[in-house]
Amino acid sequence: MSIDQLTPKQREVLKYIESYYSEKGFAPTLKDVRDKISINSVSTAHKHISELRRKGFLKKLDKPVRSIGVFGKSENLSEVPLLGKISAGSGIEPIENPVTIQVPENLLSGSGRHYALNVEGVSMVGEDIRDGDTIIVKYQNMAQDGDIVVAVLNEGNEKATLKKFYNLGDKIELRAENPNLQDWPKQFDYGDIEVKGKFVGLIRNG
């Protein structure tokens, strides 16, 4: 099928996905597409993606990375440690015998150390990070507004959570991406949280 047979909106979505992948090495999320193309909802973005797949312009994967999975997994794989499981605010539950897993290199963010965590819970479903996914995290202790981070909350028992980071000047705010969670966002004093890494990629499990 010729690209001329796509609707103007489908061509716009396809151009954005290809440009995003070329720049970053991985596909955008459905939320990225929604925001960039000014689509009303994630479900509408999903319809455009599904139609592009049906017409042969995007490749659907059995286990796509991030939320679109535009391209097949990289032939170049790297090993990263799978440290355990992270849930919404209840800490990182380490696995008894830590293992390494192979991940496509295009999920890694350049140089630096990376690790993986299995996600439990639905606090970040708005970013299409679902219960049962495996996230790839780059070790770093700094973050910019809007970054999704693994943050340790120094509340006596050092809980950890996966949330969006925002620097409010005199406070740090962590935000969930699930309107059903009434306890978030939360604000913290400097020193009350510690960033343990930045989310850079995702492997969908099932």
For the annotated catalytic residues, the residue numbers are 123, 163
Per-residue tokens: 75: 């032939």
> H helices then E strands: how many in the chain?
3, 9
Handedness of CA 71, 109, 94, 142 (dihedral sign): negative
Evaluate whether 21 touches 13 at the Cβ level (below 8 Å).
no
Phi, psi of 136 (to 5 degrees): -105, 130
Task: Determine the straight-line distance between the first and last CA of the chain, rounded to whole angstroms.
Answer: 30
